[in-house]
Amino acid sequence: MVNCSQHAAGQHGHLMLRPLSENDTHCVQFSYFLYSRDGHSPGTLQVYIRVNGGPLGNAVWNVSGSHGRKWHQVELAISTFWPSEYQVVFEATVSAERRGFIALDDIVLLTYPCNKVPRFSRLGDVEVNSGQNASFQCVASALNVCFWRLFAASVSWRQGRWVASFQVEAVQRGEQDLYRLSNFAELIVRVPPTPIAPPQLLRAGPTYLIIQLNTNSIVGDGPVIRREIQYRASQSPWTETHGVSSLTYKVWHLEPDTEYRLSVLLTRPGEGGTGPPGPPLVSRTKCAEPMRAIRGLTAAEIQSRQLALQWEPLGYNLTRCHTYSLSLCYRYSMATGSGGGSNATVRECLSLERNTSRFTLRDLPPFRPVHVRLALANPEGKKEGREVTFQTEEDIPGGIAAESLTFTPLDDMIFLKWEEPVEPNGLITQYEISYQSIESFDPSINVPGPRRTVSKLRNETYHMFSGLHPGTTYLVSVRARTAKGFGQTALTEITTNISAPAFDYADIPSPLSESESTITVLLRPALGRGAPVSSYHVVVVEEDGSRQVRRRDLGPLDCFPQPTSHGEVQAKGVPHYYTAELSPSSLPEATPFTVGDNHTYNGYWNTPLDPTKNYLIYFQAASNFRGETRINCIRIARKAACKDHKRALEVSQHAEDMGLILGACAGGLVVLILLLGAIVIVVKKGRDFYSYPYYPKKVNMNKSAMVYRQEKNRKLGSLDCSMTEQSTLQQDEHTAHSFMNTHACNTRNEQRSSVNESSSLLGGSPRRLCRRKSSPYHTGQLHPAVRVADLLQHINQMRTSEGYGFKQEYESFFDGWDVTKKKDKTKNRQDNDRHRVKMHSLLADPNSDYVNANYIDRTPRVKSVADI
């Protein structure tokens, strides 16, 4: 007895009888008790037959639930038909309710079948299998002596006896009994054997099942003389039977992944001794590897971003399994970098529904090869089809990345460059660039301007915009085109640089007026290019006399971006300064402006000009835009220095102090000149020309002498000019008129007698308000006459004296003859003696040009104190 409340759910206990070896049908009787007060099942009571010490197998009897508070009796028939050992095992299992009692009692093993009376041997007993016909024959002397429970088939008279035959058709176990004709005869009905348990599956394959018959326990009568396997597919109406000669059997030629029902048939001796099929074994074969890969993968429809695919229908003969999977894998490459520089491969596999033969791939990139592969798989294997490549159609291109737009702005041009769209979605046929002015700081430009469009070839990813307005913002758009149309537009705003203001001066204008310290010029307003003019500057450049003027052309120059006042000129050492700063509002039209008027213009002092200096006047305009400055300047005037004014100013300052001294010097000089003239005349008359031993004899002038005289005149003229240039440079080495003096000397060399013209050339430009005085030692002036006989003595005296300038004239006259060099006096003295001889012969000739030249008019001419 088991008290279920004292045990856990699922615990079980076994009661085992001793091993038995009975070879015929016998009966086990026992009583059981299953009761629970609340009506719940206390547990389960089962009976197992263990054969030859093997596993328990399946229960041959079981009962559960609550059967009231009383005992119940059971008879269990057990049969064995071959020498074997078996054991009866009772098992009690506690239910989840854990309430009530399970008990066994009165277990009896009978040596005869259940529900039978003791057997007695009877003549005329008949043994048949259930379901078959039973025949009885009774021989009696009279018919009335035979009694039977059933009906008689026939009665006949045979050899003086009545023979009665009785036929019992399809007898069953319940019809087994004693039948009396003349006496009692026993009708024995045997039940064909049937396995109690179904066959046991040992192993399953795709096309076979290996089973164990499991026929140790049967229901019915033995002995078993034949065993058969009967099987059929669960969904099939037909069955197939195979005879079995061993306890295990392999069923061949089955369909993969198919459910089969297998039963065992047992046969005992006699007609109709085959019992009904035992409990079936329901089992399924394994799946077989797919027969082959899927074929016929084609594209039903191709669009720019999707593919409609189809393939052959799937069937069991291809899948070889009812449980299978169908997958579709595809791959394509995608551009990841700007301009399509690098590609990334996208791979994806999709699980498709079974029994489908069509699928649509979506969200694909346009104009890309898509590689597709189908795979069929079941638990036993996988078959992949070959990869098929499809090309999606073109689509409108993607947008050009805004960060790929690079540009270089100028004042009237923009160089724009871009990259191909990351997603071209096809073959780019052209690019379209549109631009339109939307904003400008130049009030003369109308915005927004007209929109212009330019087309570029597919390989031209750049464009140069020309003819633009400076300082103007343009809205630029770029988009690509394929055969499907234009893609998205990339926009950017680009602002051109401002240009320097432009002046309306066709040529260098003439000054309106000019004085010693001022000059009046005409200022014309500049035209802003890209931005209005923010300020004007009048710049004065001091021109160095030793430096040639380089800025002679009209137009833009390097200009003067650094503001410098007049006081900073000497401190910084710059040659220019701002003399005035004017606002654009103060110059609405052409306005005269006086440079050097001693006024202040926006912090800059318009200082008077120095009459002794040369100046260049520049007009400068500046435009400012977003921290960017553009400057343009132009030279509008040039003012020359006044050297005579400087000298006259110095003389006037010392005139009162030097008046008497200069007058006395002038008088003495006149007396000295008259005295020298008288002496020359007296000496000439009192002495013979050829009485001096150092004069050469008179030589007749021939043609060669004439040629020499002309060449000598040319050399003397050039020496005279060089002396004049040297004297001029000593007086003012920084004046720019040395160029004009040299030019005057060359002109005078050609026309020596034109004294007035030479003086005019040395005087400078007739526009100048003051005229520079020339040196008193110019060859164009006349000197006092000296007697030819006394010329050498006069020259020696004048070399060492500081007189009226003959020392300079003498040194210049013998320049190149090494007379004045003092490095080697001994050698120079010999050379000088030789030159004196040559000079004597030259002076002794009355036709000499030098003598004639010095005898033209030797009367001294004193014009002013400055000449002295």
pLDDT number for residue 159: 53
**What is the tens place of the pLDDT at every residue in 210-228?**
999 998 899 998 899 999 9
Q: Which domains does the chain have, with CATH numbers?
A: 2-110 (2.60.120.200), 138-190 (no CATH), 194-284 (2.60.40.10), 298-391 (2.60.40.10), 402-495 (2.60.40.10), 499-641 (2.60.40), 664-854 (no CATH)
pLDDT band at residue 284 using 50, 70 and 90 as cut-offs: very high
- Residue whose tokens read 């432009």: 502
pLDDT number for residue 437: 92
pLDDT band at residue 374 using 50, 70 and 90 as cut-offs: very high
Contact by Cβ (8 Å): 29, 106: yes
**What is the tens place of the pLDDT at every residue in 502-536?**
888 877 778 889 998 999 999 999 988 888 888 99
Q: In 3-state terms, what secondary structure has residue 416? A: strand
User: What is the C-alpha separation between 363 and 305, in angstroms, rounded?
Assistant: 5
567 pLDDT higher than 90:
no
4 pLDDT higher than 50:
yes
Q: Is 399 or 788 the better-scoring residue by pLDDT?
A: 399
pLDDT band at residue 446 using 50, 70 and 90 as cut-offs: confident
pLDDT number for residue 18: 86
* 190-199, 494-503, 645-654: least confident range: 645-654
pLDDT number for residue 81: 55
pLDDT number for residue 576: 87
User: What is the C-alpha separation between 230 and 171, in angstroms, rounded?
Assistant: 26
Contact by Cβ (8 Å): 382, 319: no
Q: Is 181 or 590 the better-scoring residue by pLDDT?
A: 590
Instruction: Give residues with Cβ within 8 angstroms of 549, minimum separation 6.
Output: 543, 616, 638
- Mean pLDDT along residues 236-256: 92
Query: How many residues are given for the chain?
Result: 868
Identify the H or E element spanning 480. Answer: strand 472-482
Q: In 3-state terms, what secondary structure has residue 383? A: strand
pLDDT band at residue 720 using 50, 70 and 90 as cut-offs: very low
Instruction: Give residues with Cβ within 8 angstroms of 833, minimum separation 6.
Output: none
195 pLDDT higher than 60:
yes
User: What is the C-alpha separation between 260 and 279, in angstroms, rounded?
Assistant: 13
For residue 111, give the nearest of 195, 174, 217, 20 by alpha carbon. Answer: 20
pLDDT number for residue 337: 60
Euclidean distance between the first and final Cα of the chain, in Å?
A: 171
- Mean pLDDT along residues 69-92: 80
User: What is the C-alpha separation between 691 and 498, in angstroms, rounded?
Assistant: 92
User: What is the C-alpha separation between 605 and 517, in angstroms, rounded?
Assistant: 14
What does pTM read for this prediction?
0.45
* 78-87, 575-584, 586-595: least confident range: 78-87
- Mean pLDDT along residues 567-571: 75
pLDDT number for residue 129: 81
Beta bridge partners of 360: 308
pLDDT number for residue 385: 93
With 0-12 CB in 10 A as exposed, 13-18 as middle and 19+ as buried, what is 285? buried
**Which percentage of the chain shows pLDDT scores above 90?**
35
pLDDT number for residue 5: 87
**How far from the centroid of its chain's Cα atoms is residue 304's Cα?**
25
For residue 809, give the nearest of 832, 775, 837 by alpha carbon. Answer: 775
pLDDT number for residue 31: 93
Q: How would DSSP label each residue in 398-428?
A: PPPPGGG-EEEE-SS-EEEE----S---S--
470 pLDDT higher than 70:
yes
- Indicate the average pLDDT of the chain: 75
- Mean pLDDT along residues 435-444: 86
**What is the tens place of the pLDDT at every residue in 643-659?**
654 444 444 444 445 65
743 pLDDT higher than 80:
no
pLDDT band at residue 593 using 50, 70 and 90 as cut-offs: very high
- Mean pLDDT along residues 405-433: 91
Identify the H or E element spanning 415. Answer: strand 414-417
Contact by Cβ (8 Å): 248, 211: yes
For residue 92, give the nearest of 46, 137, 55, 123 by alpha carbon. Answer: 46
pLDDT number for residue 766: 34
* 162-176, 375-389, 640-654: least confident range: 640-654
Q: What is the 3-state secondary structure (H, E, C) of 150-196?
A: CCCCEEEEECCEEEEEEEECCCCHHHCEEEECCCEEEEEEECCCEEC
User: What is the C-alpha separation between 832 and 817, in angstroms, rounded?
Assistant: 8
Instruction: Give residues with Cβ within 8 angstroms of 144, minimum separation 6.
Output: none
For helices 755-762 and 738-750, give the axis angle rounded to 10 degrees. 170
Peptide bond into 223 cis (omega under 30): yes
pLDDT number for residue 109: 83
Q: Is 643 or 83 the better-scoring residue by pLDDT?
A: 643
Q: How would DSSP label each residue in 792-818?
A: HHHHHHHHH--SSSHHHHHHHHTTTTT
- Mean pLDDT along residues 274-298: 93
pLDDT number for residue 37: 86
pLDDT band at residue 852 using 50, 70 and 90 as cut-offs: very low
- Mean pLDDT along residues 342-356: 89
579 pLDDT higher than 80:
yes
**What is the tens place of the pLDDT at every residue in 750-764?**
333 333 333 332 233
For residue 196, give the nearest of 226, 220, 223 by alpha carbon. Answer: 220
Contact by Cβ (8 Å): 99, 38: yes
Q: Is 121 or 251 the better-scoring residue by pLDDT?
A: 251
**Which percentage of the chain shows pLDDT scores above 70?**
67
